[in-house]
Structure 1
């Protein structure tokens, strides 16, 4: 008697690579995946830009602190766009006006400090742009991915009901496609949350350091007597030194 053989064809192996999962996904799930991928790209663009911005602001804050601690102030008003230049452009005109006859030393120093702090805050304001995108992506992306997963699983169950076949080979591809949307949502959300927390804390620290240096610079300016125009032969802080 000849041996029994199984002549049934082997089940076709499903391609579960990321590209295949995307191509086989439902149009709605594909839209969710594309939206999450675009959000992830945008977040990484913001992250790279903020790393460069944070490095620059830390250097400018150190320069401002050096200016407040005794470094020679330029003889002409700078036209740069850094923190120290912004503080000087706002403070030197107030220093030229001098202390009013009825103005106390504290009021005079407060006027200088207020003008320079306002300029420094205005310069720092643009550095926080893009953080809203990181916060929004970190909060929303997992739920958007979950929506894609729920939609894909619903389609998979509909296909199972139509084919009356509940074997794992039939169920697995559809569920894998659906879960891939959640995975993309997490890939977009996790770096966004980490980056937002890191940049929010770092920018707050730079802001605090810059404003502290600005107050010291205002105190240094307020101790200088006989205000004269910058660049007219007398250095503005020579009298205080």
Structure 2
């Protein structure tokens, strides 16, 4: 009676599981024999039928285990790819940021020289002694000090050496027209050097003290990135939203909106 009951339970499991979802052929390794045995489960002795059912159930369990292992491997690979994608996205943003800095600095220099030449010609024709209102300083030592610091970044790529140069410039010329640019460059160098607290101070000064500077949007973007590194999602969103609201036409506003879409 006990044996028959065991057989009935095994047959029930197979009818609802193994027969409904047969084990993969590659996992059974004996598909022809097994299928023939399943086609006539009542043939053979009771022990043979039980042995056949046990093999079917075991093969099914092994197949499910291998499928689960393959699924785990795929999930791990997807996670790794996601991490690589995020890293590449961040590196691309950094590269684009450096290119914008370079183009802005070139535009500033070209514009300053053109305006300076126009001012000099106007002064000669009118014989007036007016002070130029452009950002390019009439103090040659100030210009040389700023250009020296910038050239260390753009030409010589001496990033470590450029940090004290910008610090000395800001100490010697705190009211310079180059001050917002110098603070931003210094913040960028410190950011790349992983001196995040110092970098944050200089970006904050750009935003707080030079509201009309074209460096404000980029400084806001950097403050958002710093907040993200500090795992301060609310602060990051606040900086990004301020950037998209107050400087919607800036190139950095697009990057800020992308971060908002990801974080919110």
Whether TM-score is above 0.5 comes out as: no
TM-score, structure 1 normalization: 0.28
Greater Rg by CA? 2
Of Structure 1 and Structure 2, the greater helix share is in: 2
Q: TM-score, normalised by structure 2?
A: 0.26
Question: Which one has more relative contact order, counting CA pairs under 8 Å at least 6 apart?
Answer: 1
